[in-house]
Amino acid sequence: MARRALAAVAVLGIAAVGLTACSGSKDKASSDNSGNKTLVVTYYKTSSFAQMDELMKRVKGEFEEAHKGVTIDLQPVEAEADQYFTKLALMNKSKSKAPDIIYEDTFQVMSDAAAGYLMPIDQYVKNWDEWSQYPESSIQGAKGMDGKLYGVPFGTDTRGIYFNKKIFEQAGLPTDWQPKNWDEILSAARTIKEKVPGVIPMNIYAGRAGGEQTTMQGFEMLLYGTQDTLYNTDTNKWISGSQGFKDALTFYQTAYSEGLAPSNDIALDKGVGPRMVTEFMPQGKVAINIDGSWLPSSWMREETKWAEWQDTIGLAKMPTQKGQEPGFTTLSGGWVLSVGSQTKDPELAADFVKTALNKKGSLEYSITTSAVAIRKDIVSDQDYLKSNPSFKFFADLVQYTHFRPATPDYPQISTNIQTATESVVTKEQTPEQAAKAYDEGLVKIVGEKNIEAAK
């Protein structure tokens, strides 16, 4: 993330984490005496996210067939996203370990570009015959602060509410549920706690172990529903003293203090995200889960298949705090494929990126990961639309979406938010105290001159 916020938190404990790339035959791009070349491709995989690994294996074969003498050295990092960011930070600081091609979360692009880890690729895509399929709006998250392009997007995502229709029916709640405000979410969770004991009424991610899922699937889904924000894009300043910030933390306090959310041993465990997808939801142990558009892709895969998910799960939009206009809110992010600045053959590395993200690769990624498509030729592709019944719902949420502040400081501020939620759910601080601590941390991260008081 040269300055990675998440790495700064975790780097002292990296030895304990024990992250290793699955394949390490060559440290980075190299050429042997015969002129053969090797490109190192780094990305992350987990038990619930192996789709990228399968895509890269296919692209590797296709690329090597078309580029004789070139070897693609796939180095997947088996870890959760935050640990992956930490691993990447360490790799990128070493010229001998830095990958040629990197799977990047959009919220890391600006900081990694500013740190000198990524290479701008404008010159390599401008004459690509498929580049016109990418709308200008879809590539903003792949740009650095200098306005240059540092990656090609795979797609985007949105977030909403998953609810178990069978549990709702048991609780006497409607199976076409669509809450109009936060109070209706909490009311439904209270009814479930009373009527269907033994299940988790509601999950909203919290704590530092959850990393960006806490910030984005959790806190920001609340904050942006208050009509407050983290960052003023007109003044390029961070906001402190926001009532919406306190209100979002108060929602956490209510959910966790009333026993409507998971117990802390579950909520604050780094594995809570995968467990929600592979255990709690399929086994009917959670009634409401605020989460991302990619979940159904896991239930459609053989190794994590949940054949009954369409009959069991309902989808609802996340309402604004009091139902104020536009009525609903969501967050969007996404991933890109970037070229590392240390590569010895940037044109070849860019060719790999274009091969991986041609229509075939982008369609495969969108279908297998439940990504919201951004390429014009995929948005209207019938194979894409028919492949997953949740696609239309999550694509329709884009009209309500917000994006994280794509600044180099954001990763540190995200960690600051995670700390605030954890202090509230563990009852170490009140929402007011946690918000004050966040504001104090904000000053340390960006300086008072880059902060303005909420209006």
Specify the pLDDT at position 289: 98
Specify the pLDDT at position 120: 98
Concatenating the DSSP letter of every residue in 247-273 gives: HHHHHHHHHHHTT-S--HHHHTSTTHH
Which residues, at least 6 apart from 216, have a Cβ–Cβ distance to it below 8 Å? 159, 331, 333, 404
Specify the pLDDT at position 304: 87
Angle between helices 106-114 and 410-425 (to 10 degrees): 130
Sign of torsion over alpha carbons 220, 223, 226, 232: negative
Give 199's DSSP letter: S
Closest CA to 376 of 393, 387, 363: 363
Inter-residue contact 421 to 252 (CB < 8 Å)? yes
Provide the CATH number for the domain formed by 159-332+409-453 in this structure: 3.40.190.10
pTM as predicted? 0.81
CATH tag for 5-157+334-396 (out of 3.90.1300.10, 3.40.50.2000, 3.40.190.10, 1.20.1440.230): 3.40.190.10
Q: In this structure, how many other beta carbons lie within 10 angstroms of the beta carbon of residue 65?
A: 9
Q: In tens digits, what is the pLDDT along the chain, a chain of 455 residues?
A: 333 333 333 333 333 333 334 444 444 555 554 468 999 999 998 876 788 999 999 999 999 999 999 999 999 999 877 789 889 999 999 989 999 999 999 988 998 999 999 999 999 999 999 999 999 988 988 999 899 999 999 999 999 999 999 999 999 999 999 999 999 999 999 999 999 999 999 999 999 999 999 999 999 999 999 999 999 989 999 999 999 999 999 999 999 999 999 999 999 999 999 999 999 999 999 999 999 999 998 898 888 899 999 999 999 999 999 999 999 999 999 899 999 999 999 999 999 999 999 999 999 999 988 899 999 999 889 999 999 999 999 999 999 999 888 888 998 999 999 999 999 999 999 999 999 999 999 999 999 999 999 98
Specify the pLDDT at position 267: 98
Is the backbone peptide bond immediately before 274 cis, with ω within 30 degrees of 0? no
CA 205-206-207 angle, 5° bins: 140
Inter-residue contact 377 to 359 (CB < 8 Å)? yes
Where do the structural domains in the chain lie, given as residue ranges? 5-157+334-396, 159-332+409-453
5-157+334-396 and 159-332+409-453 in the same fold: yes
Q: How far is CA 195 from CA 69, 191, 258, 276, 437, in A?
A: 65, 6, 15, 22, 38
Specify the pLDDT at position 8: 35
Q: What backbone torsions phi and psi does residue 361 show, to the nearest 5 degrees?
A: -70, -40
Tabulate helix, strand, coil % of the chain (nearest 5).
45, 20, 35
Specify the pLDDT at position 50: 81
E-strand stretches of 116-167: 152-153, 159-164
